[in-house]
Amino acid sequence: MTYADQIKSPLWQKRRLEILSKDDFTCQVCGEKERTLHVHHIKYKNGCKIWQYKDSELITLCDNFHELEHKIDIDKYINYLSSNDITKIETSLILENISSIIFNNNYKRVLYNLLSSYGNNIENTVLDKLEKRRINWID
């Protein structure tokens, strides 16, 4: 079954509505409710149908952030650091530090700062939803 066929499947349509409902039909990054919303797979697993993912592997994103999610090239940023004389060891330590901050419950501040750089007004209610998601990541 192709990806296009899976998107048309009633099983995906049902699963998609479950995630949209769980996320209160709200983009979980910026809090947008009026734009077109997408259910995004945070990661893909070989052999898994698109409706067979855990809640924590699916997220509601507005069309802006969904498009951005697919455009971001992490390797580009790693190469940028390298081209500015930052070693892979230093890059890995930076990423490890960020991971540590996020997983030691300082992630609200980090995410707020990161998202603010995109010029968005991030409300505390959105950050609270991110906190709820973070708690659910532990499953």
> Tens digits of per-residue pLDDT, 19-74?
999 999 999 888 889 999 999 999 889 999 999 999 989 999 999 999 988 888 88
Q: What is the pTM of this model?
A: 0.66
Instruction: Say if residue 20 is exposed, middle or buried (CB neighbours under 10 Å; 0-12, 13-18, 19+).
Output: middle
- Choice between 64 and 109, residue whose per-residue pLDDT is larger: 64
Q: Is 138 a residue whose pLDDT tops 60?
A: no
How far is residue 129's CA from residue 20's CA, in Å, rounded to a whole number? 13
